[in-house]
Amino acid sequence: MSESEKPKGHTLSKDKVLTNGGNNVSSNPSDEMTEKFDLATVYVSDAQYNRNIFFDTSPQAVRLYLLYNHWFMQTLVYAFIIVNLALALFEDPAVVPLPIWATSTIEIICLSAFSVRMVHYAKVIPKDKFWKDPKNICIIVVVTLSFIDLTIYGALKSTGYFAIRWSRVLRPLLLVNVTEGRQLRRAFRSIRNALPQISYVFLLFMFSVLVFSLVALKLFGKRGLLTIDGSPYFTDYLDIVFDLYVLVTTANTCYAYASVIFVFFTIFFILYIIINTYTFMSFFLAVVYSNYKKHLKEEVRQLVKARRFKMCRAFSLLHEARGEGGEPVVTQTKWNHLVKLVKPNINIAHRELLWSVLDDQNKGHIGKFAFVQLADLLSIQVITVKSQPHPIQICFPSMYNSPVSRFIRYVVHQRMFVYVYDLIILVNAVFIGLDEENPVVSNAEWGFLALYMLEIILKLYATEPRAFFARHHFWNWFDTIIIVSALFGTIINSALKHSGGYTSRQILDIIFILRVLRLIRLVDSIKRFRAIINILIKIGPTILTFGQLIVVVYYIFAMVGMELFKGKVQFFEPNSTSPDQEYCGNPLLKGTTFAKLNYCKNNFNNVVSSFIVLLELTVVNQCGFTAVTHISARIFFVLFHIVVVIIIINIFVAFILEAFLVEYTIDKSDLQTSLEKKIEELELNVQQDGVDTGLVDAMESNDNELGPSEAGKQKPSLMFKIASRRSRTVDGLLQRMFETDIRPEDFVEEEEPENINFSNPVFDSV
Amino acid sequence: MSESEKPKGHTLSKDKVLTNGGNNVSSNPSDEMTEKFDLATVYVSDAQYNRNIFFDTSPQAVRLYLLYNHWFMQTLVYAFIIVNLALALFEDPAVVPLPIWATSTIEIICLSAFSVRMVHYAKVIPKDKFWKDPKNICIIVVVTLSFIDLTIYGALKSTGYFAIRWSRVLRPLLLVNVTEGRQLRRAFRSIRNALPQISYVFLLFMFSVLVFSLVALKLFGKRGLLTIDGSPYFTDYLDIVFDLYVLVTTANTCYAYASVIFVFFTIFFILYIIINTYTFMSFFLAVVYSNYKKHLKEEVRQLVKARRFKMCRAFSLLHEARGEGGEPVVTQTKWNHLVKLVKPNINIAHRELLWSVLDDQNKGHIGKFAFVQLADLLSIQVITVKSQPHPIQICFPSMYNSPVSRFIRYVVHQRMFVYVYDLIILVNAVFIGLDEENPVVSNAEWGFLALYMLEIILKLYATEPRAFFARHHFWNWFDTIIIVSALFGTIINSALKHSGGYTSRQILDIIFILRVLRLIRLVDSIKRFRAIINILIKIGPTILTFGQLIVVVYYIFAMVGMELFKGKVQFFEPNSTSPDQEYCGNPLLKGTTFAKLNYCKNNFNNVVSSFIVLLELTVVNQCGFTAVTHISARIFFVLFHIVVVIIIINIFVAFILEAFLVEYTIDKSDLQTSLEKKIEELELNVQQDGVDTGLVDAMESNDNELGPSEAGKQKPSLMFKIASRRSRTVDGLLQRMFETDIRPEDFVEEEEPENINFSNPVFDSV
């Protein structure tokens, strides 16, 4: 580092950041340099979004790779997957029957799209890597099998033979193996990792159920117990095993054991419930939780390692040797250019801020260690708060600064203002509950709407509109959208009513839902609740991953279930006169509780019904349908219970447990703090008026608190604030979970040559 | 420390331990010394059993205190509590009606016993301490109120008025506030500590339920939905709130929502289930778990502190200044005397071993730091394995050492021998499942019994009988008792059958259960299962604490429930001709699913039925009875669900989670290791032939492995083994959970004077 560099570094002071200076990027690098920058950009953004694809580094491949990762291509792939999955709605047994040629054509289009995507992928990555990756092979196999099945099915159907579309079971695998399904694959991996442990506990649990069944058979079998249906109890061993298994799911529909009570029986059941229902079920959770924790740590460690490695690659493309010792460094010029390429819409002040965090000694260049942090820094959302004069102040300065206007602005920024509106919402909630036919109630609605509109207008008057509608002010957007929509809805509805006396049910429903959503605002005013809501919001994206997981499992079970059980249970309209109505069209169900309670809609006759039955099985364990086709239905039920309830639900609970405990203990990541420290150092932070943040930092929702500090004192015209959005992505949350553990050793390892194979098959494939 | 002491210390070598030496206790200390020793003994045993009673230190008080803590007195107190609680069986509404004078007399006896116990306690501890302790006041209030209630009730009944025994609700409080109920109080404390956090989540959860109910009311209320019973759906707001609340309990009996399906409805329910059933219920678990973890740590820290403090007290009674620096120490003589007093049945070798662990430099005396560890060391169960020749070897040495005999012993100690018997058990399991009327099956039973007897005899032949029946060889005892009992049972049964053709059902049942219990042995042979079984066994005692907790809560709810709902639902014998049978004697139930499914036995007509209903509410959420007396029953149900399912079950799950994770990560406590190290150093440990212990140390069950090493090589005649029983007590397990965290700072704090008030009210009272 030469001494002459120092002054340049010194320009990175507060003044420079504020005056939008430092835009000293060399504008025309050579072609070779452009390619290098392109490649570095790809590495950095791969690191930022945790993509782990080992692509060719030739300029064409890089361009193809950029195209491959384009959001439009990714959306298209998901659209095709959804269409492909949705075909089940139209295929036999269909909700909306379509001719075979139509569904087949759509499926062929989808499969072709997947094939094209595969070819594209093959062009991007080296051939040997392509064929080593199990997920590519899986996609190719699924697509091929689907084509074969389609051909066979078409041929058999056209010649009038019986045929099964067995390849439909494979469709969800595409969702798992597509390049973008990282989260889903990770979820499946954690299931796979927990499996050995779960299976030991499960075997012991089954042993316990078998022993209890044996005892039940021997002790109660000969006492002539009868069920409500009049059939004998406890006489068949397998029946008992199944009944006791069902008891574990805490369902009582199948097993009204309480109707026969004697001491032995009661003791038996209490023991059974304590051991199997509570202890073993907790064991499952404990095993899943401990495995989840263990393997997640390892996965995140690998993720961070891969990310560092990619950053090192980018560094090695851009670095140059410098002064004493020849330590490789990246200059600010190059760095600025890179950041511009990675994040085109970043503003200069933000970029300068990041640089000043990395180059904390104002050297004008940064080493490898600092460079590597770029990906982490970029994923921290920094909000630039520009302090601009209010438009009204510009147009009518005297009016805006008049005592009345000042008083209004003062009032709006008061805590009391929020409380008054909370009270209004509360009153509104009561009015919502009242009968809307009453003219007082329906007229009051206009009053509420007016009050809410007034609130928004007042806030807009008191706060600069661009600041009010800044991207991170979630609740401002929320309020405005809801109120404006409700206003339009109400006006349209009233217009319709006045013109023709006609009221659209749909519009009313939508207006009503908008009104109810408004109530949520109330919760956010209470600090304690806000903390919990914040956790809920942060868990949100992960719930989506679990949603995909559930869809994959449900789809497979629905496909199998439809082939096995379609038509076994039929639903008759309540006013039907068919004699079959009494037992859902299946003589086996005659006299069962299932038929008595008229659960005939719980069937596998189409994909929607199937999903609903599976949902019920998950939540309330409606196992009545197992009476239909004895043994296969029971196996189906038990398998489903094991997969969904014992494994997936427990993993979900484990995730929430861990997320909650993390929120409870860790507050902010180290890096976020270093960035914040810099902001504070430069006195550019937005002050918060003593909001203590409870469980989690309530930064996202402190728009109410923003005002007073603005009104209170003279501040720089540009300020920064860190949105805690970073942890909103699943990866971010996971990384936060284990950040303290993974920091030290990663920097030791990253220089080692073994890290070259970062597209580790264990890591990026199912 | 003078140099002349050293040789004495040196005698504590391996040789001395082996030759039963070191019995050099001064036999006649002065009277004052005796009192000091008595007091020190009390301190040490208080520390060992974690008793935190601030007793008077006068000799009489100490004697009274010893009596107060006598096991017989404690058992007596629990007997009286059980009798007092069991009175509910005989009081109106009774299972077995007894006249009022009889139940009253018994209750008066019980209450008197509690009063006597209180007076005894008041004599032991200083007056001001007595009146400051909330649990004493609670007992006095409960006893007084019970007397008052009894008088009023008796008076009202004898004059023919209506009266309620309201004080019965208070009875379980005695169980909580009795001196010995430490674990139970701790459980209640962890509930109380988690309450604020739980209540925030609960309020938010209720808000969510209320909003969803509002949506349901408005969106579905006017669509004219009907339930199966034909009553309208979704028309009353409070009904909807209750129905949706019940949905969270995953019960579907009350809410057959699936019978009406349309898109809006499905989306609504999926959203509701995801948010309320899964997310919020997981939140409850997360909150309970994190609070449980946090507070437990604090409690255990205080426990350890109090224990150390008591040991310091004992030390200050016995110490004497020594040589250079005047550092206070306790001599081996005094220490030996103390240990003898604390644990009269400790053998000399074991005592010497403990001393050599504490005095690792062979000084002949120990300082405060080492002395304090005595309580911990005493709670580690060390098993002294004496290697004695087999009795047969003494009587018939030539026969016992003959090649055939050697071969038999070799075979018995082989792994194969265990596998063969596992196979026999497996075959036996199949035979148990078969019809026992079949003569082949019943004769085979004799064969199996003979085989099992042969196993025991062979093992007794191969292993020294006293070693075989050592206290820690759980499975040997288990086998022998089960086989011998089964043998006797089968003989008696067969004798009865032959003599009069009469077969006792009871005897057959008992024999059968014995046979099934034998199957458990099979699980223990598989290493993976053994680890899980060990966790189960360790959790056992805590399940007892939770059992008490459940009894307290159930009892209170049962008492309230009986007063509110007795007689509302009646059960009629199946062949009854009463027209009320159809609707359980309550017109409100006419046509409900509850009555249709004949759940009439689920009532609050006596204490046994009440407990069963509450059990069902806990496990399967049989809420049908809420239809009976509308609003109070619903409040009762919701309260019960909050207390039992949301709080207690979650605390139970949290405990199991934590226990499992602890077993998973920590292997043995530091102290245990230091003791083991000493044993190993002295080469006195029992070798284990390469059994790796999986999840937990499987020491308890390695009796099979004991043999080969004995046969293999020459060994000392006395060996030690550490039983991992220590963690079997709840306190031990808890301490192990946090041992790594609490060690360092406790030694810093223990010298401070503030620790004097160790009978901290926060710590030892509810």
Q: Do the chains contact at B258 and A657, CB–CB below 8 Å?
A: no
Q: Could you tell me how far CA B472 lies from the centroid of its own chain?
A: 19
Residue A4 has pLDDT above 70, yes or no: no
Q: Could you tell me how far CA B557 lies from the centroid of its own chain?
A: 23
**Residue carrying structure tokens 């600090």:** A527
- Topology of domain B391-525+667-722 in CATH is Four Helix Bundle (Hemerythrin (Met), subunit A) (1.20.120)
| DSSP β-bridge partners for residue B383 | B721
Contacts 24+ apart (CB under 8 A), B15-22: B16/B352, B17/B349, B17/B352, B17/B353, B17/B356, B17/B682, B17/B684, B17/B718, B18/B349, B18/B716, B18/B717, B18/B718, B20/B348, B20/B349, B21/B352, B22/B336, B22/B348, B22/B351, B22/B352, B22/B355
Homologous superfamily of the A391-525+666-725 domain (CATH): Voltage-gated potassium channels. Chain C (1.20.120.350)
Q: Do the chains contact at B219 and A512, CB–CB below 8 Å?
A: yes
For the CA atoms of A105, A110, A116, A119, what is the dihedral angle to 10 degrees? -120
In chain B, residues with a C-beta closer than 8 Å to the C-beta of A287 are: 660
Weakest-pLDDT range from A21-30, A178-187, A518-527, B539-548: A21-30
**What is the model's pLDDT at position B79?**
93
Q: Does B259 touch chain A (CB under 8 A)?
A: yes
Nearest residue in chain A measured CA to CA from B290: A661
**pLDDT tens, A346-397?**
777 778 878 877 777 777 778 777 787 777 777 776 666 666 777 777 788 8
Q: Does B252 touch chain A (CB under 8 A)?
A: yes
Pick the closest to residue A534 from A725, A262, A706 (CA basis).
A725
Q: Does A238 touch chain B (CB under 8 A)?
A: no
Asked if B193 and B647 touch (Cβ cutoff 8 Å), the reply is: no
- For the structural domain made of B54-178, what CATH number should be given? 1.20.120
**pLDDT tens, B473-526?**
777 888 888 888 888 888 888 888 777 666 666 777 777 788 788 888 777 777
Nearest residue in chain B measured CA to CA from A660: B286
Assigned token pair, B137: 């006041």
Q: Spell out, as residue ranges, where chain B has pLDDT lower than 50.
A: 1-27, 29, 252-261, 668, 687-716, 725-728, 744-766
Q: Does A228 touch chain B (CB under 8 A)?
A: yes
Tell me whether the omega of the peptide bond preceding residue B172 falls within 30 degrees of 0, making it cis: no
**What is the model's pLDDT at position B10?**
40
Q: Report which residue type is found at B352.
A: E
In chain A, residues with a C-beta closer than 8 Å to the C-beta of B205 are: none
In chain B, residues with a C-beta closer than 8 Å to the C-beta of A203 are: 529
**What is the model's pLDDT at position B761?**
33
Weakest-pLDDT range from A4-8, A326-330, A607-611, B438-442: A4-8
Q: Does A262 touch chain B (CB under 8 A)?
A: no
Q: Do the chains contact at A532 and B652, CB–CB below 8 Å?
A: no
DSSP 8-state symbol, A739: H
* Residues 6+ away with beta carbon under 8 Å from A284: A198, A201, A202, A205, A646, A650
Q: Which of B235, B278, B511 to mutate to test the interface with A (most CBs of A within 10 A)?
A: B278
Asked if A698 and A527 touch (Cβ cutoff 8 Å), the reply is: yes
Q: Do the chains contact at B286 and A657, CB–CB below 8 Å?
A: yes
Residue scoring higher pLDDT (A466 or A193)? A193
A321: enclosing H helix or E strand: strand A320-322
**What is the model's pLDDT at position A699?**
34
What does R_g of chain B's alpha carbons equal in angstroms?
32
Nearest residue in chain B measured CA to CA from A615: B270
- B4 φψ region: left (φ > 0), alpha (ψ -120 to 50), beta (else): alpha
**Residue carrying structure tokens 């139209």:** A90
* Residues 6+ away with beta carbon under 8 Å from B462: B408, B409, B412, B413, B707
Q: What is the largest CA-CA distance in chain A?
A: 100
Nearest residue in chain A measured CA to CA from B547: A274
Residue A109 has pLDDT above 90, yes or no: yes
Q: Do the chains contact at A657 and B429, CB–CB below 8 Å?
A: no
Q: Do the chains contact at B657 and A286, CB–CB below 8 Å?
A: yes
Nearest residue in chain A measured CA to CA from B597: A228
Nearest neighbour of B282 by CB, restricted to A602, A622, A653 = A653
Q: Which of B255, B512, B524, B532 to mutate to test the interface with A (most CBs of A within 10 A)?
A: B532
Query: Which ranges in A31-99 belong to alpha helices (H)?
Result: 31-48, 59-68, 71-86
**Residue carrying structure tokens 């919990």:** A532
CA distance A644 to chain B (A): 13
**Residue carrying structure tokens 């982490």:** A376
Q: Does A271 touch chain B (CB under 8 A)?
A: no
Q: Does B622 touch chain A (CB under 8 A)?
A: yes
Band the pLDDT of A555: cuts 50, 70, 90. Answer: very high
Q: Does A218 touch chain B (CB under 8 A)?
A: yes
Q: Which of A210, A235, A252, A661 to mutate to test the interface with B (most CBs of B within 10 A)?
A: A252
Q: Does A109 touch chain B (CB under 8 A)?
A: no
CA distance A766 to chain B (A): 26
| DSSP β-bridge partners for residue B321 | B328
Residue scoring higher pLDDT (A600 or A203)? A203
**What is the model's pLDDT at position B678?**
67
Listed by number, the residues of chain B in 677-716 with a beta carbon closer than 8 Å to a beta carbon of chain A are: none
| DSSP β-bridge partners for residue B329 | B320
Fold equal for B54-178 and B391-525+667-722: yes
Q: Does A251 touch chain B (CB under 8 A)?
A: yes
**Residue carrying structure tokens 């004495």:** B8
Assigned token pair, A259: 């109707």
Q: Do the chains contact at A252 and B529, CB–CB below 8 Å?
A: no
| Residue B441 CA: distances (Å) to CA of A710, B432, B437, B600, B741 | 90, 8, 8, 41, 58
Q: Helix, strand, or coil here: A386?
A: strand
CA distance B490 to chain A (A): 16
Weakest-pLDDT range from A523-532, A603-612, A649-658: A523-532
Q: Helix, strand, or coil here: B93?
A: coil
Averaged confidence pLDDT in chain A: 73
Nearest neighbour of A251 by CB, restricted to B228, B620, B661 = B620
What does R_g of chain A's alpha carbons equal in angstroms?
32
CA distance B384 to chain A (A): 33
Q: Which of A235, A275, A545, A619 to mutate to test the interface with B (most CBs of B within 10 A)?
A: A619
Q: Do the chains contact at B290 and A660, CB–CB below 8 Å?
A: yes
In chain B, residues with a C-beta closer than 8 Å to the C-beta of A247 are: 620
Q: Do the chains contact at A285 and B513, CB–CB below 8 Å?
A: no
What ranges do the domains of chain B cover? 1-30+184-377+730-766, 54-178, 391-525+667-722, 537-664
**What is the model's pLDDT at position B756?**
36
Q: Do the chains contact at A429 and B602, CB–CB below 8 Å?
A: no
In 10 A of CB B753, how many CB atoms?
6
**What is the model's pLDDT at position A76?**
92
CA distance A100 to chain B (A): 26
DSSP 8-state symbol, A759: S
Q: Does B253 touch chain A (CB under 8 A)?
A: yes
Query: Which ranges in B501-605 belong to alpha helices (H)?
Result: 505-525, 527-565, 593-596
Listed by number, the residues of chain A in 412-441 with a beta carbon closer than 8 Å to a beta carbon of chain B are: 429, 432-433, 436
Integer Cα distance of A179 and A201 in angstroms: 34
**pLDDT tens, A157-190?**
888 888 888 888 898 988 888 888 888 888 888 8
Residue A43 has pLDDT above 50, yes or no: yes
Q: Does A509 touch chain B (CB under 8 A)?
A: yes
Span A663-684, average pLDDT: 60
Listed by number, the residues of chain A in 524-543 with a beta carbon closer than 8 Å to a beta carbon of chain B are: 528-529, 532-533, 535-536, 539, 543
CA distance A541 to chain B (A): 13
Weakest-pLDDT range from A64-68, A296-300, B332-336, B454-458: A296-300
